């Protein structure tokens, strides 16, 4: 391997001069500079980021831990974080906790040992409290992504889940839906809890007991619960609070012989790509996943600039995309 020493020798200068040429950290006589550049060229020298990082105590890298790399929404965030990293000349170290708290802990540990300059984390559903303590102790700036906490000591960026659900549910209610089944999923996940809260916000309290709220993390249970509720024909609309839940809902409805939107209206969060090309097209609340990723990196950068400022929470606005699955003319007002 060719090191800075080789370059220095060939150029007939000291290693410190080479270093300063490399980094532009002090004035170097043009002639000297030229010789150094030549020597770099000739030797094919490449800076060693490891040694540099060790010496400078910064790696110019950030870590990202996502809870489910397989989900399109998280893939979008990964994409956004990568873009944010490139924009700030950082490299990205990626880990996937796969919704496993132990694996999440290992990932965070590994990233911290690699001395990432910042850590972005979409915590998993049953993230251990030990992780919180661990992060508190770490000197590294942390940004929470997507799954936010109240009173978080960290910066965080997510979506306006509660507000967007309020908009969606209000729209459905004003379209005449009086009995809605909400596939809320695992409400230990803040994102899903917030969406459910938004639904409660929107429903007039006297009508609340007519709604079916299906919570839980067991897919088979959710499925049978949903089918059970829909059998009687009492509900006119189903809302799924995430893409996996939408799959559960659509499959359940299909298995029960219920068509969207003829028999039931349907709306989902996150949804499916290119929904417009297929039938039925699905009313969807879309998360700005990519933008959440870039915003997370920005929060990290800002934090480094002012380490003492109080933690910020960013909520990016989601858009309710109305499509045929909730088309008004098909609703039977009860």
Q: How far apart are alpha carbons 254 and 71 in whole angstroms?
A: 23
CB of 20 or CB of 223, closer to DNA: 20
CB of 26 or CB of 42, closer to DNA: 26
Contact code string over 2-31 relative to DNA, x by CB under 7 A: -xxx------xxxxxxxxx-xx-xxxxx-x
CB of 26 or CB of 109, closer to DNA: 26
CB of 55 or CB of 274, closer to DNA: 55
Residue 232: CB atoms within 10 A of its CB come to 8
Write phi, then psi, for 316 (nearest 5 degrees): -85, 145
Handedness of CA 112, 114, 117, 122 (dihedral sign): negative
CB of 274 or CB of 329, closer to its own copies: 274
Residue 167, interface with its own copies (CB under 8 A)? no
- Count of chain residues binding its own copies (CB under 8 A): 49
CB of 63 or CB of 198, closer to its own copies: 63
* 224 alpha carbon, distance to own chain's centre: 30
> Three-state SS for 61?
strand
Cα 133–Cα 58–Cα 38 angle in degrees, nearest 5: 165
Rg of the chain over all Cα atoms, to the nearest angstrom: 26
Residue 176, interface with its own copies (CB under 8 A)? no
Query: Is 260 within 8 Å of 268 (Cβ atoms)?
Result: no
Cα 320–Cα 326–Cα 332 angle in degrees, nearest 5: 140
CA distance readout (Å), 194 to 174, 187, 207, 225, 317: 21, 8, 20, 22, 14
Query: Is 42 within 8 Å of 53 (Cβ atoms)?
Result: no
137 binds, among DNA, its own copies, none (CB under 5 to 8 A by kind): its own copies
Q: How far apart are alpha carbons 153 and 320 in whole angstroms?
A: 31
Identify which of 242, 229, 175, 172 has the alpha carbon closest to the alpha carbon of residue 202.
Answer: 172
CB of 55 or CB of 209, closer to DNA: 55
Min dist. Cβ of residue 136 to DNA (A): 21
Q: How far apart are alpha carbons 21 and 164 in whole angstroms?
A: 53
Residue 44, interface with DNA (CB under 7 A)? no
Min dist. Cβ of residue 16 to its own copies (A): 19
* 14 alpha carbon, distance to own chain's centre: 47
Among 12, 34, 70, 228, binds its own copies (CB under 8 A): 70
- Count of chain residues binding DNA (CB under 7 A): 32
Query: Is 147 within 8 Å of 89 (Cβ atoms)?
Result: no
Q: Site residues for DNA, window 55-114 (CB under 7 A)?
A: 55-57
Q: Site residues for its own copies, window 11-40 (CB under 8 A)?
A: none
CB of 116 or CB of 157, closer to DNA: 116
Q: Site residues for its own copies, window 233-292 (CB under 8 A)?
A: 247, 250-251, 254, 272-275, 277-280, 290
* Binding interface with its own copies (CB under 8 A): 44, 46-51, 53-54, 59, 61, 69-70, 72, 75-76, 78-79, 82-83, 86, 91-96, 103, 109-115, 137, 247, 250-251, 254, 272-275, 277-280, 290
* Binding interface with DNA (CB under 7 A): 1, 3-5, 12-20, 22-23, 25-29, 31-33, 45, 47-48, 51-52, 54-57
């Amino acid at each position: 391997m060719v090191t800075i020493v080789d370059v220095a020798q060939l150029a007939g200068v000291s290693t410190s001069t080479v270093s300063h040429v490399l980094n532009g950290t002090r004035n170097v006589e043009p002639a000297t500079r030229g010789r150094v550049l030549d020597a770099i060229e000739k030797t094919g020298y490449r800076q060693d980021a490891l040694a540099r990082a060790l010496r400078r105590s910064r790696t110019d890298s950030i870590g990202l831990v996502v809870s489910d790399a397989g989900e399109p929404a998280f893939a979008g965030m990964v994409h956004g974080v990568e873009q944010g990293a490139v924009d700030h000349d950082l490299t990205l170290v990626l880990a996937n906790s796969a919704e496993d708290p132990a694996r999440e802990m290992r990932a965070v540990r590994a990233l911290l040992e690699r001395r990432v300059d910042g850590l972005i984390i979409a915590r998993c559903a049953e993230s251990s409290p030990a992780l919180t303590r661990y992060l508190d102790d770490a000197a590294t700036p942390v940004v929470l992504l997507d799954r936010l906490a109240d009173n978080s000591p960290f910066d965080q960026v997510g979506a306006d889940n509660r507000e967007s659900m309020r908009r969606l549910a209000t729209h459905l209610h004003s379209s005449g839906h009086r009995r809605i089944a909400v596939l809320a999923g695992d409400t230990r996940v803040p994102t899903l809890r917030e969406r459910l809260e938004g639904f409660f916000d929107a429903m007039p309290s006297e009508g609340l007991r007519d709604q079916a709220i299906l919570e839980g993390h067991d897919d088979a249970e959710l499925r049978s619960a949903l089918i059970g509720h829909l059998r009687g024909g009492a509900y006119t609309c189903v809302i799924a609070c995430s893409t996996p839940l939408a799959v559960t809902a659509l499959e359940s409805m299909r298995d029960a012989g219920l068509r969207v939107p003829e028999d039931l209206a349907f709306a989902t969060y996150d949804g499916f790509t290119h929904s417009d090309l297929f039938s039925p097209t699905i009313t969807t609340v879309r998360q700005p996943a990519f933008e959440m990723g870039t915003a997370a990196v920005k929060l990290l950068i800002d934090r480094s600039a002012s380490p003492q400022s109080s933690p910020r929470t960013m909520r990016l606005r989601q858009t309710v995309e109305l499509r045929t699955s909730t088309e008004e003319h098909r609703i039977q007002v009860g």
